[in-house]
Structure 1
Amino acid sequence: MGETHRINFEPVDIQMEVGEDEKILDAAFRQGIHLMHGCREGQCSACKSYVLDGEIQMERYSTFACNDAEVAEGYVLLCRAHAYTDCTIELLNFDEDELLGGVPIQDVRTRITAIEPKTRDIVSLRLVAVEPETYEFKPGQYSDISIPGTDEHRSFSMATTQSTPGEIEFLIKKYPGGKFSTLLEAGLAVGDELHVNGPFGSFTIKDGHALPVVCIGGGAGMAPILSILRHMNETGSTRPVRFYYGARTASDLFYVDEILKLGEGLRDFEYVACLSEPLPDVGPPEADRLPASVVPEAGNVTQVVARRESALARCEVYLCGPPPMVEAALFFLDAQGVPKDQVFYDSFTSPAAAAT
């Protein structure tokens, strides 16, 4: 067991203790301090901070998230960082409302109530909380689900809201060779127990804000956006909402009827399906029978948004989906002059996908 050191965060004047054997971000969670974060695996830069004083070493991380020149200058990723002296760290990104007011991390024992395919590679996994009997999180956040019989976990976003505090739905993309994907195919069944830890993530709807909301999603990125739309519907939000969902073909679209139903309770709501391969379509015939009000647009989701949106700088933009989609959208939004504090995102990755 390593020594314990004190961390002082600037400019927020918050202090905490951290053991040498734990990562700084994990220590913050343990003490109820919700620092900005994303992947928690050193792959994004959401938790990037600057060391003003002290000795910090990092575990393995992506140089795309923090390059060698930045490390030499003193930048660190808190999700990979261990402190070996007392330290003073400048937070580069932080939400004052979240810092000491976020939802506490919880360990929840759950039971599977349904495993239901939604498309050829997206599965709905529904759980009920057993101990404790509720699970608190904010719309848009994600959780770690432990892989039974191992010390590994996988991270997935919740699609549900606190209107059903004991029921949780995850929308999971299956990858060939993926450990969790294999379990979904054969290995997990209704009635089995799973351990859930969370919530994590800063991709949450900002209640009290007034700007129009533009959601851009793809693949399993449907889950947090669906949670946000459900929450806005349940709370009577009056903010205009547009939801762009990117897929390959019409057979990759799902939850269309529910999304349109949610939109009936929202102001100026519009759902736009964006198909990168609109013809020819494959899959069950019923996948082609979309509601008459949904006429898919050709092109990837970023191309469609570029054609249809002329005032993104006056909107809050919520992104979630495969890394190439998120990266393309971030580049596009920056070119459009959208302020960075009006853009919120998660980029979904998979160990199986990363290995290919």
Structure 2
Amino acid sequence: MIQDSKILSRQEVAQGTMAFHLAKPSGFSFRPGQAFEVLLPNAAPEASGEDRGHAFSIVSAPHEEELVFATRMRDSAYKRALRALPDGAELDIDGPFGSLILHKNPARAGVMIAGGIGITPFMSMIRHARHNPSEQPLALLYSNRRPEDAAFLDELQVYARTLRSFALHATMTDMANSTRPWDGATGLIDAAFVHRATAQLPDPIFYVSGPPGMVQAMRHTLEQAGIDDEDVRSEEFFGY
């Protein structure tokens, strides 16, 4: 259902990545991990569907008063129009939709694997877990080229220190081109990385989010790690 909203504020959450805070329409409800479409105002009649609207995972948790999404600010017609909108600008949202939702059995761990901007649906899940503490073990395997590119990294590191049931396993793959210090893991998430991060977790279900190539590669890695395909759920991000 299309509803009215507006831009409240924005902030840079990584180099080249912006988070937009929107007004939450009355009665709008969603589950952590779901998405919505953001429809820009005053799109030219000849504009393609991609220039008028774009689907984004919701970063905020259901209890939060605002709706937040984050995106790489690439040089596309849609992103240029989005960047040009001032705070207070009205727009429409359509949703929610999507099935990348954490399972309900608290006895089974949830393992989230994100590449780059694929972190967005997992932020909603983790924020929800912080607001509604549970004994369900959660782990995030988060790969980026550099710390500069890792959206919400500082927030996630705080959660890793303060949430007893949450573990963060972040890795960087291009530290040679970074100007920020990093004393964590480096290199790709491979089968050995997965084993180290999940060996002590009870009967985990895996969730993978990121660019299509990354999702396909991670599904292959999980297969190499001996993970049954029935225990893997994924969502691909196109053009983020």
TM-score bin, normalised by smaller chain: 0.7 to 0.9
Please tell me whether the aligned partners of residues 16 and 73 of structure 2 are also in contact (alpha carbons under 8 angstroms).
yes
Question: Are residue 115 (structure 1) and residue 15 (structure 2) matched?
Answer: no
Which residue matches 1:154?
54
> Secondary structure of 2:61's match?
coil
2:192 and 2:114 mapped to 1: Cα distance? 12
RMSD of the alignment, in Å? 2.3
2:176 and 2:13 mapped to 1: Cα distance? 21
Which residue matches 1:298?
186
The equivalent position to 2:81 in structure 1, one of 180, 183, 201, is 183
- Superposed, which structure 2 residues align to 1:7-86 within 5 Å? none
- The Cα shift of 1:307 comes to 5.8
Higher relative contact order (CA 8 A, sep 6+): 2
2:117 and 2:174 mapped to 1: Cα distance? 18
Please tell me whether the aligned partners of residues 14 and 152 of structure 2 are also in contact (alpha carbons under 8 angstroms).
no
- The Cα shift of 1:268 comes to 4.3
2:233 and 2:204 mapped to 1: Cα distance? 11
Please tell me whether the aligned partners of residues 112 and 192 of structure 1 are also in contact (alpha carbons under 8 angstroms).
yes
Please tell me whether the aligned partners of residues 109 and 202 of structure 2 are also in contact (alpha carbons under 8 angstroms).
no
Distance change in 2, residues 1:212/1:299 (3 Å): same
1:259 and 1:302 mapped to 2: Cα distance? 21
Q: Deviations over 1:299-341 (max 9, x none)?
A: 1234673462464893111111111111111111223332333
- Superposed, which structure 2 residues align to 1:277-316 within 5 Å? 277-282=174-179, 288=180, 295-302=183-190, 305-306=193-194, 308-309=196-197, 311=199, 314-316=203-205
Question: Are residue 140 (structure 1) and residue 140 (structure 2) matched?
Answer: no
- The Cα shift of 1:115 comes to 1.9
> How many equivalent pairs are there?
232
* One-letter amino acid of the counterpart of residue 155, structure 1: A
Distance change in 2, residues 1:303/1:343 (3 Å): closer
- Superposed, which structure 2 residues align to 1:217-228 within 5 Å? 217-228=114-125
* One-letter amino acid of the counterpart of residue 119, structure 1: A
1:297 and 1:264 mapped to 2: Cα distance? 17
- The Cα shift of 1:265 comes to 4.8
2:148 and 2:115 mapped to 1: Cα distance? 13
Please tell me whether the aligned partners of residues 139 and 224 of structure 1 are also in contact (alpha carbons under 8 angstroms).
yes
- Superposed, which structure 2 residues align to 1:88-107 within 5 Å? 106-107=1-2
Which residue matches 2:223?
334
Distance change in 2, residues 1:232/1:268 (3 Å): closer
- The Cα shift of 1:116 comes to 1.6
More helix by share: 2
> Secondary structure of 1:118's match?
strand
> Secondary structure of 2:158's match?
helix
Please tell me whether the aligned partners of residues 213 and 318 of structure 1 are also in contact (alpha carbons under 8 angstroms).
yes
* One-letter amino acid of the counterpart of residue 249, structure 1: R
* One-letter amino acid of the counterpart of residue 74, structure 2: Y
Which residue matches 1:34?
none
Please tell me whether the aligned partners of residues 274 and 304 of structure 1 are also in contact (alpha carbons under 8 angstroms).
no
1:315 and 1:216 mapped to 2: Cα distance? 12
- The Cα shift of 1:221 comes to 1.2
* One-letter amino acid of the counterpart of residue 123, structure 1: M
Q: Percent identity?
A: 25
Q: Deviations over 1:221-270 (max 9, x none)?
A: 11111101111121112122221111111211232332133334533432
